[in-house]
Structure 1
Amino acid sequence: MEELFDEMRAALWTIWHRRWIAIAVAWGVCLLGWLVVAMIPNSYESKARIYVQVDDVLSEQLGIAGDGREEIRRVRQTLASNVNLERVIQGTRLGEGIVERGEMDNAIAELAQQVAVESEEENLFAIKAMVGKSNLSDAENAVLARNVVQKLLDIFREEHIAGNRAGIDQAMAELDSQLEERKAELEAAEERRLSFEAQYPELIGGSQTLSTKVQQARTELRDVEADLAAAQSALAAIEGQLSGTPRTIMGPGGATGPRGALMQAQAQLAELRSRGLRDEHPDVVATSRQVDLLAKQAAPSAAEDAGGTPNPAYTSLIAIRADRQAAVESLQARRAALQSSVAGLMASQASEPAVAAEANRISRDYDVLRKNYEALLQNREEIRTRGDVVDETSQYKFDLIDPPVVPQKPAAPNRPLLLLGVLVVGLGAGAGVAWGLGHLRSTFATPHKLERAFDLPVIGAISLTLSDAARALERRRLKQFAGACAGLVGMFVILLAIEVVSVGTVA
Structure 2
Amino acid sequence: MSNKEQNPFEQIFRYWKRIRRYRWWICLGTLVITLAGFNVVAMIPDYYQATTTILVDPQQIPDRYVTSTVVEDPRYRLNTISQQVLSATRLQQIIDQYGLYAEMRNKRSREEIIAAMVKDIDLKVKEGGSSLGSFTISYRSTDRKAVAQVTNQLAAGFIEWNLKNREQIVVDTTDFLRSELDRARQSLKDQESKLSQFKIAHAGEMPDDQTANLQMLGQLQSSLQANREALNRLDMQKTMLLSGEPGTSTAGVPTAPVSERQQLLAEKRDLDHKLSELRKTYTSEFPDIVSLSKRLDQVNARLQQLPADKPQEIARNTDNVQLSLLEREISRLNEEQRQIKAQMNSYRGRMDAAPVRQQEMLDLSRNYQVSSNDYASLLEKTTASQLAAELEKRQKGERFTIIDPATVPEHPFKPNRPLLMLMAFAGGLGLSLFAAIAKNLLSRTVQGEQELLKILPAGVPLLAVIPAIDSAATLRRRKLLALTAATVALVACGVEVLMLFWTRPLL
- Provide TM-score, normalisation by structure 1: 0.49
Larger radius of gyration: 2
- Provide TM-score, normalisation by structure 2: 0.49
